[in-house]
């Protein structure tokens, strides 16, 4: 388990400053947790996120350009991710059924298995943390976390907004933003 540097207790901080520092430490703890879990699957946290995006597209697959647009990065950067995930046996690249020049990315059985394993570990680790809270505390935490997320993203928190989806309008959306829900 990760040890985070916390402020010394000898000088109590004002509540808002403590809250700011706690939120920063919480963000660092989640980043560390993600990196640790991703490493168990032989990938980085960013590669794990890319596996999620490709997995969410299902059998339809994703174009590399869609993946790049969804992650607000260049096609060259996405190509590095694709190469690494392909070498691990997690991705299959195949021609599009509608345009043979376009290559679609899909998860292989090994990729689906690795993704499921990492997701199961993430769920177990978070469940372990949440079990320490009473049901009412968990309800309060959910309400506050969703409010914070809305304020940070200027978005509503719904199940649909949590996962990118693929689109059948791929040919009319060359940037691919619609195919990935416009988000990483």
Q: What is the pLDDT of residues 124-157, one digit of tens each?
A: 999 999 999 999 999 999 999 999 999 999 876 5
Helix count and strand count (H, E) for the chain: 7, 2
DSSP 46-64: HHHHHHHHHHHHGGG-B-H
- pTM (whole model) above 0.85: no
70 contacts 182 by C-beta, under 8 angstroms: yes
Measured CA to CA, the distance from residue 78 to residue 73 in angstroms comes to 7
Average pLDDT across the chain, whole number = 84
Q: Which CATH architecture has domain 37-123?
A: Orthogonal Bundle (1.10)
93: Cα separation from own chain's centroid: 21
Contacts of 99 (CB under 8 A, 6+ apart): 171
Q: Which of 51-55, 90-94, 96-100, 157-161 is predicted with the least confidence, judged by mean pLDDT?
A: 157-161
Label residue 179 by pLDDT band (50, 70, 90): very low
Cα torsion 52, 30, 139, 122: sign: positive
Q: What is the pLDDT of residues 73-86, one digit of tens each?
A: 999 999 998 999 99
CA atoms within 13 A on the CB side of 177: 4
């Amino acid at each position: 388990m990760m040890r985070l540097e916390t402020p010394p207790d000898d000088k109590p901080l004002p509540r808002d400053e403590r809250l700011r520092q706690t939120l920063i430490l919480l963000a660092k703890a989640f980043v560390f947790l993600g990196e640790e879990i991703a490493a168990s699957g032989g990938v980085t946290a960013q590669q794990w996120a890319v596996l999620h995006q490709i997995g969410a597209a299902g059998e339809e697959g994703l174009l590399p350009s869609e993946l790049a647009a969804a992650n607000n990065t260049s096609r060259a950067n996405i190509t590095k991710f694709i190469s690494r995930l392909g070498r691990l046996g997690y991705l299959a690249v195949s021609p599009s059924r509608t345009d043979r020049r376009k290559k679609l990315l899909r998860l292989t059985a090994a990729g689906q298995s690795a993704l499921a394993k990492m997701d199961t570990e993430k769920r177990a680790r978070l469940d372990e943390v949440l079990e320490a809270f009473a049901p009412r505390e968990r309800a309060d935490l959910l309400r506050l976390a969703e409010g914070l997320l809305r304020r940070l993203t200027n978005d509503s928190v719904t199940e649909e907004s949590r996962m990118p989806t693929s689109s059948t309008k791929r040919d009319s959306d060359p940037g691919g933003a619609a195919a990935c829900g416009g988000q990483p």
